[in-house]
Structure 1
Amino acid sequence: MTFKKLFGASLIAATLATPVVTQAAPADYEIDMAHTFVLFDVNHLGFSNMPGRFAEFSGELSFDDENIENSKVSIAINTASIDTFHAKRDEHLRSPDFFNAAEFPEMTFTSNGIKKTGENTAKLSGDLTLLGVTKPLELDLTLNKAGAHPFNKKTMAGFTAIGTIKRSDFGMKYGVPNIGDEITMRLELEAIKK
């Protein structure tokens, strides 16, 4: 066998023996509604920070456990489902003074970028639409845990995302400054790999 043929055969064999490295694609996850919460705090007259939540929402999560920057999330929140643990106040919050839930039944957040900042932390950026107004929103994201659920063995991921909005930026100006303009938003999210 000539050198040329031997070299060619060796090259082909080496090529076939080389492992192919593929990049994992993000996987779709189903949001675990029993363990996911959309929460907020607003200052009340300087005396306290009033907590609240939205009870009804839906969302989609695509998560890359090898490179979180390839992940994305979107969430749609039913504004009429606001719950501050006081029925009369909640009724007022649904009115045109605040969320105007009859005309704007949904508030949405759609991510458009994730920048890793630490081993389990990142900046999650996206667009928040409230009262028909869309503004950029950046959230501090923490990956709490990803892996097998200890009981049902399903692949899970859990996150906390925290950020602040100025409600007046969206046209919600009632009561400012006595009722806080800055609202702290918090998402506690668990999701199951599909």
Structure 2
Amino acid sequence: MKLLATTAALAGLLMAGTAFAADSYEVDPAHAWVSFKTNHNGWANAHGTFKSVAGEISFDKEDVTKSSITLTIDAASIDTNHEQRDTHLKSPDFLNVEEFPEITFTSTAIEKTGDKTAKVTGDLTLAGTTKPVTLDVTWNAEAPLPWDANTLKTGFSATGSFNGVELGITKLADFGLGPDFTLDIDLEAVKK
């Protein structure tokens, strides 16, 4: 009877370990960078960044295809190093931040491409329109904070692209912009 109880307890632990193989992380907003660039009338690439980024990551190191990520970006936090341009980009001509205050990315599939790399496909929602976008992601490192061994941090870098017109920003050409945007994302996240 004792052997049966021990076996059942061990099986329960193994099943629980399988069910909860993914670790949960919260994106550190002070160490999250989402930047973009797009062609400006052939003269140069116009650059910008978003200053307010939050998100949750479920990271299964044994099987990354079972991982997931959700990112939420405050659309009004856009910064292109020019206040008047930023105000215009927040208007209904572009991001329409009053009606659509958040830009979101929610992963839908992950394909492992190397020891520390993957293609992460997800739904990008921008100005009320949702389209699939694929990001090339690299897992950089995971380690405890040097000043706090109890806090574990992990980090990722990602790149991707999308067509702004397809995501509902139809006036890009009126201002000599786009239509294609390149994304660069760097995130540090703290294990919960």
Bucket of the pairwise TM-score, normalised by the shorter protein: 0.7 to 0.9
Question: Which sits farther off after the overlay, 183-192 or 66-75?
Answer: 66-75
Give 1:161 shift: 1.4
Tell me the distance in 2 between the aligned counterparts of 1:131 and 1:29.
27
TM-score, scaled to structure 1: 0.85
149, 155, 160: which one pairs with 1:158?
A: 155
Q: Which runs of 5+ in 2 are unaligned?
A: none
CA contact 1:39–1:187 (8 Å) conserved in 2: yes
Give 1:40 shift: 0.8
Q: Secondary structure at the match of 1:191?
A: strand
TM-score, scaled to structure 2: 0.86
Structure 1 runs of 4+ with >3 Å offset: 19-24
Q: Secondary structure at the match of 2:81?
A: coil
Q: Secondary structure at the match of 1:139?
A: strand
90, 93, 97: which one pairs with 1:94?
A: 90
Instruction: Tell me if 1:148 matches 2:144.
Output: yes
- Which whole-Å deviations, capped at 9, do the CAs of 1:81-107 have from their partners, x for residues lacking one? 111010000011011111111111111
Q: Look up the match of 2:172.
A: 175
Identical columns (%): 44
CA contact 1:64–1:71 (8 Å) conserved in 2: yes
Instruction: State the one-letter code of the partner of 1:37.
Output: W
Tell me the distance in 1 between the aligned counterparts of 2:53 and 2:32.
10
- Which whole-Å deviations, capped at 9, do the CAs of 1:91-130 have from their partners, x for residues lacking one? 1101111111111111111011111000110000110111
Question: Which sits farther off after the overlay, 84-93 or 67-76?
Answer: 67-76
Instruction: Tell me if 1:69 matches 2:44.
Output: no
Q: What does 1:52-63 correspond to in 2, within 5 Å?
A: 52-63=48-59
Q: Secondary structure at the match of 1:97?
A: coil
Give 1:43 shift: 1.3
CA contact 2:128–2:168 (8 Å) conserved in 1: no
Higher-Rg structure is: 1
Matched residue count = 180
Instruction: Tell me if 1:26 matches 2:25.
Output: no
> Which of the two has greater strand per residue?
2
CA contact 1:65–1:146 (8 Å) conserved in 2: no
Tell me the distance in 1 between the aligned counterparts of 2:53 and 2:90.
16
Instruction: State the one-letter code of the partner of 1:39.
Output: S
